[in-house]
Structure 1
Amino acid sequence: MIEARALTKVYGDKTAVAGVNFTVEAGRVTGFLGPNGAGKSTTMRMIMGLDRPTSGTVTVNGAPFARHAAPLRDVGALLDAKAVHTSRSAYNHLLAMAATHSIPKTRVHEVIEMTGLADVARKKVGGFSLGMGQRLGIAAALLGDPQTVILDEPVNGLDPEGVVWVRNLVKYLASEGRTVFLSSHLMSEMAVTADHLIVIGRGRIIADAPIQDIINGKGRIRTRVRTDQPDQLMRLLAGDGVSVELQDNELLEVTGLDPRQIARAALDRHVMIYELTPLQASLEEAYMELTKDEVEYHSLITTGAAAPVQSGGN
């Protein structure tokens, strides 16, 4: 379990994390989302004892990270896959880590096999691709068979097989009753991997709930409607906060109205509807709605190019 209480980090006149409170429970995959500059990396670094909080506390399995006598056996983390001595082989890198905690060589071989590194384990890390470096970082995180696993962008650089492997791995770890804390910018992957989400924006927690609750709460209502009177129905449904798009000759997509409101309006005006299908909002839509006022860097699309517009810094 990871617990943060009034956790705050200030750099000069910049508050990176502002008194956040959250709990990452064991037995489920908790996703950690937020725009660039929102405070995700700073929060994860404080969890791992790499940055000291300005105020507040964060504990892992009941104690600050620095107080764990054998941290690799309590907490495994992938924060920076490049933080490896490039002239060492993957095997020697893991062997050196294992020696600091009296972890047997057999476990080194286990995590090498588990992460698909067997064919390159004796090669120098400096020649690894991004994806192989990620696999090595995950192997290091799992080396001590920890109760808590923290992974920052673990599928970065992985091929589709690797992405599926990470997805199944974190779900399996959670099913064993471990605490799994996962950060990623890939909404499609987070949607099929995480059970619970914590969303941070401008250093503050803006959502902390099961993933389906977040999708249901912030995704705009969309409905597929099929009718042989599309023009009449479009005029009927038009209004503030309502979008009606003609998909083909008889198919409309309505955003901003409950399906029951659509059905009632059509019935009152004797418009025949022969399909009324609620569409599931996506995690990406819900996330964009949640964070629309929390993004520090915006872009404007101009003719032929996207021009970055800075609205703040980190």
Structure 2
Amino acid sequence: MIQAEGLRKHYGPKTAVDGISFTVQPGRVTGFLGPNGAGKSTTMRMIMGLDRPSAGHVTVNGKPFAQHKAPLREVGALLDAKAVHTGRSAYNHLRAIAATHDIPVSRVHEVMAMTGLTEVAKKRAGGFSLGMGQRLGIANALLGDPQTLILDEPVNGLDPEGVLWVRNLVRYLAGQGKTVFLSSHLMSEMAQTADHLLVIGRGQLIADMSVQNLIASVQQKKALVRTPQSAELAAALAAPGVSVTQSAHETLEVAGLDTRSIAQIALERQILLYELTPQEASLEQAYFELTRGAAEYQSDFSMATATHSQATGMPGQPQNYKN
């Protein structure tokens, strides 16, 4: 279990983490989300004792990380896959780490087999690809068979088979009662992997809830409608709290009305509908809604422009009908 209370970190005048409190429970995969510069890496470094908090405290399995006599047996972490002796082979790197905790060589062979490194055991780590470096970092995290696992962007550089392997691995470990805490920028992967989410923005905790509850917290009634009478239907749907956007030719996106109400209005006005499909929010949509304005680095290219471009093949702004 990981417990943080009032965790704060300043770097000169800059506040990287601003008094956050949370608990990462065992037996489930907890995802850690946030824009670049939100404070995720700093938080993970404070958990691992690599950065000292300016205020507050954090414990892992009941103690600050530095107070564990055999930390590798308590916490396994992947924070920087490049943090290896580049001149050593993968096997010698893991064997050297194992020796610091009296971990048997048999465990080194075991984690290498688990992570698919057996065939490259004698190759120098400095020559590894990004994906193979990630596998070595995960093998290092698993070496002491720890109760708690902390992984920062574990699927970075992995091929689809590797991504699936990480997903299955962390869910298996959580099923064994271990604490699993991981960050990722891949929303689709996090939606399939995590049970619970912590969302951080500008150093502050924005959300601490299950994946399902986070999506539901920002979801509203939406529908995709295709009709040759789009302008007429848009005018008929106009009402307080209803937003109608023409996202492509003969295609409307309606927010604030369910499909039954849209169908009834279209029937009353004898408007032909080619398609009427309810739209459910994704984790990505929920994330962008929650972190709107919380990103430290923002572009001028809007999500609406991107959606319109994908739908029509042409850049530009979609037309909005609002009341």
TM over 0.5: yes
Match of 2:316 in 1: none
- SS across alignment from 1:84: coil
Q: 1:221-232 counterparts in 2 under 5 A?
A: 221-225=221-225, 229-232=229-232
Instruction: Confirm or deny that 1:3 pairs with 2:3.
Output: yes
- SS across alignment from 2:300: strand
Change (3 A) 1:225 1:32: same
Q: Give the Cα–Cα distance (whole angstroms) in 1 for the partners of residues 150 and 174 of structure 2.
A: 12
Once structures 1 and 2 are overlaid, which stretch shifts more, 83-92 or 252-261?
Answer: 252-261
- Measured after TM superposition, the shift of residue 296 of structure 1 is 1.2
Letter in 2 for 1:244: T
Instruction: Confirm or deny that 1:122 pairs with 2:122.
Output: yes
Letter in 1 for 2:243: V
- Measured after TM superposition, the shift of residue 231 of structure 1 is 3.7
Q: Residue 221 of structure 1 contacts residue 281 of structure 1 at CA under 8 Å; is this kept in 2?
A: no
- Measured after TM superposition, the shift of residue 262 of structure 1 is 2.9
- Measured after TM superposition, the shift of residue 234 of structure 1 is 1.8
Once structures 1 and 2 are overlaid, which stretch shifts more, 255-264 or 168-177?
Answer: 255-264
Q: Give the Cα–Cα distance (whole angstroms) in 2 for the partners of residues 151 and 190 of structure 1.
A: 13
- Measured after TM superposition, the shift of residue 259 of structure 1 is 3.4
Letter in 2 for 1:186: L
Match of 1:76 in 2: 76
- SS across alignment from 2:101: coil
What is the count of residue pairs matched by the alignment?
A: 301
Q: Residue 234 of structure 2 contacts residue 244 of structure 2 at CA under 8 Å; is this kept in 1?
A: no
- Measured after TM superposition, the shift of residue 184 of structure 1 is 0.6
Q: 1:22-41 counterparts in 2 under 5 A?
A: 22-41=22-41
| Alignment TM-score, normalising by the size of structure 2 | 0.87
Q: Give the Cα–Cα distance (whole angstroms) in 2 for the partners of residues 6 and 97 of structure 1.
A: 33
Q: Residue 237 of structure 1 contacts residue 244 of structure 1 at CA under 8 Å; is this kept in 2?
A: no
Letter in 2 for 1:70: A
User: Mind listing any 5+ residue stretches in structure 1 that lack a counterpart?
Assistant: 303-314
Once structures 1 and 2 are overlaid, which stretch shifts more, 260-269 or 282-291?
Answer: 260-269
Once structures 1 and 2 are overlaid, which stretch shifts more, 293-302 or 252-261?
Answer: 252-261
| Alignment TM-score, normalising by the size of structure 1 | 0.89
Match of 2:298 in 1: 298
Q: Give the Cα–Cα distance (whole angstroms) in 1 for the partners of residues 16 and 297 of structure 2.
A: 15
Change (3 A) 1:94 1:45: same
Match of 1:242 in 2: 243
Q: Give the Cα–Cα distance (whole angstroms) in 2 for the partners of residues 247 and 293 of structure 1.
A: 27
Please give the per-residue CA displacement for 1:100-158, whole angstroms capped at 9, x wherever unaligned.
11111110000000000011111111111111000000000000011110000001111
Q: Give the Cα–Cα distance (whole angstroms) in 2 for the partners of residues 289 and 91 of structure 1.
A: 45
Please give the root-mean-square deviation of Cα atoms over the aligned residues, in Å: 2.1
Instruction: Confirm or deny that 1:51 pairs with 2:55.
Output: no
Q: 1:1-314 counterparts in 2 under 5 A?
A: 1-225=1-225, 229-238=229-238, 242-245=243-246, 249=250, 252-263=252-263, 265-266=265-266, 269=269, 271=271, 276-301=276-301
Q: Give the Cα–Cα distance (whole angstroms) in 1 for the partners of residues 82 and 221 of structure 2.
A: 42
Change (3 A) 1:246 1:127: closer
Match of 1:307 in 2: none
Q: Give the Cα–Cα distance (whole angstroms) in 1 for the partners of residues 58 and 242 of structure 2.
A: 42
- SS across alignment from 2:122: coil
- SS across alignment from 2:298: strand
